[in-house]
């Protein structure tokens, strides 16, 4: 229970932004640029930001955690805004290294085109970013070498590089989720997930005006990309390099290249993906491009693309397609440069070229 305080004491507490309710909750208040280093004592715990913060010490993120591999860090931004540190080394507005788990939620991060919003550059076993607004950053949010991750309900607006960048753990397969987020005006891929990814789900995101690929997943397998909306990327809308992927229920339009491209990792002969119930229209090349084998393309709307509705490259083979709509694609409905690709029936063709 909080004691009654004299008026001046109460004003001092309020001005310091450390209300007694936070102390009772057991959360550690953060109200200025701070480095929490396990070399100086235990840092595991729940932290809460209590006011807007800007300009950390040179050489550090504005809020930084340095662990020894066992710490669990939970940082609640509490609706406040944290801005870049004083240096330009791109350590991240908020950064953690060497901690077991790292959670950042509920606030805004501004990189001022000099720092990444929030980053775990190395050795974070489990990472969760949720309910963040990131703007004017080098990269919006970044995760390296985690074993599992989740990025949920984030808004990322205007980055020099990727909006979301996840690099898998080189020693063990990485799994994770990117969902319910909005990304716009990214200088490179809006979402890039790569290296030892085996179980990535990217779903229900909206991506606007990426300066490179909209969603790019380069993984080992079990990639699930569904129910995303991708508009006007300056490359492929959805680009998947994996084996055993599912690309379902996405809406892609205005890509300068293919709306959806599926290939394999490292030149493996089969990608064995399901491409189903997507709408891929008005793209600069094909609605869907396949360059490997064993894929099923079913129930898609592939209309009004500048080249083909569906394009099988010379390295594709043993793919099937059925129940798709091909209307008003400029060169042809289907361009098959591969071998043993089969129309399974019930496709709807209207247009020129290979449109029965």
Measured CA to CA, the distance from residue 53 to residue 47 in angstroms comes to 14
Measured CA to CA, the distance from residue 50 to residue 78 in angstroms comes to 7
Query: In the prediction, which pLDDT does 62 show?
Result: 87
Query: In the prediction, which pLDDT does 58 show?
Result: 56
What residues does each domain of the chain span? Answer: 31-350
Query: In the prediction, which pLDDT does 171 show?
Result: 63
Which residues sit opposite 30 in a β-bridge? Answer: 49
* Neighbour count for residue 173 (Cβ, 10 Å): 16
Cα dihedral 311, 312, 313, 316 in deg (nearest 10): 160
pTM: 0.89
Query: In the prediction, which pLDDT does 246 show?
Result: 94
Contacts of 74 (CB under 8 A, 6+ apart): 45, 46, 47, 103
- Counting as low any pLDDT under 70, the low residues of the chain are 1-25, 55-60, 85-91, 170-171, 220, 267, 269, 352-354, 356
* Neighbour count for residue 44 (Cβ, 10 Å): 16
CATH topology of domain 31-350: Pectate Lyase C-like (2.160.20)
Query: In the prediction, which pLDDT does 40 show?
Result: 94
Query: In the prediction, which pLDDT does 234 show?
Result: 96
Which residues sit opposite 246 in a β-bridge? Answer: 224, 274
Query: In the prediction, which pLDDT does 17 show?
Result: 38
Instruction: Yes or no: say if 297 and 321 are a contact pair by the CB < 8 Å rule.
Output: yes
Query: In the prediction, which pLDDT does 308 show?
Result: 96
Q: In this structure, what token pair is assigned to residue 243? A: 């084996």
Measured CA to CA, the distance from residue 242 to residue 265 in angstroms comes to 5
Cα dihedral 204, 205, 209, 210 in deg (nearest 10): -120
């Amino acid at each position: 229970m909080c004691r009654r305080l004299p008026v001046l004491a109460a004003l001092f507490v309020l001005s310091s932004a450390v209300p007694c309710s936070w102390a009772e909750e057991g959360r550690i208040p953060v109200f200025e640029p701070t480095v929490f280093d396990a070399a100086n004592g235990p840092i595991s715990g729940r932290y809460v930001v209590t006011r807007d913060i800007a300009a950390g010490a040179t050489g550090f993120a504005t809020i930084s955690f340095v662990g020894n591999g066992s710490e669990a860090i939970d940082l609640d931004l509490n609706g406040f805004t944290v801005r870049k540190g004083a240096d330009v080394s791109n350590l991240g507005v908020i950064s953690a290294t060497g901690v077991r788990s790292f959670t950042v939620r509920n606030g805004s991060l501004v990189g001022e085109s000099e720092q990444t919003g929030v980053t775990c550059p190395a050795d974070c076993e489990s990472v969760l970013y949720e309910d963040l607004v990131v703007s004017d950053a080098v990269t919006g949010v970044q995760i390296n070498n985690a074993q599992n991750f989740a990025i949920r309900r984030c808004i990322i607006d205007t980055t020099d590089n990727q909006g979301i960048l996840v690099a898998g753990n080189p020693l063990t397969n990485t799994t994770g989720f990117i969902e319910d987020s909005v990304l716009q005006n990214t200088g490179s891929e809006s979402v890039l997930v790569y290296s030892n990814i085996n179980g990535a789900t990217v779903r229900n995101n909206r991506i606007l005006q990426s300066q490179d690929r909209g969603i790019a997943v380069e993984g080992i397998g079990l990639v699930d990309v569904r129910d995303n909306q991708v508009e006007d990327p300056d490359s492929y809308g959805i680009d998947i390099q994996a084996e055993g992927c599912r690309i379902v229920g996405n809406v892609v339009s205005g890509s300068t290249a293919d709306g959806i491209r599926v290939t394999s990792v490292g030149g493996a002969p089969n990608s064995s993906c399901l491409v189903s119930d997507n709408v891929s229209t008005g793209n600069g090349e094909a609605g869907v491009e396949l360059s490997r084998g064993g894929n099923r393309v079913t129930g898609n709307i592939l209309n009004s693309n500048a080249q083909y509705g569906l394009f099988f490259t010379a390295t594709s083979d043993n793919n099937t397609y059925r129940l798709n709509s091909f209307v008003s694609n400029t060169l042809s409905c289907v361009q098959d440069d591969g071998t043993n690709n089969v129309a399974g029936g019930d496709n709807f063709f209207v247009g020129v070229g290979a449109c029965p």
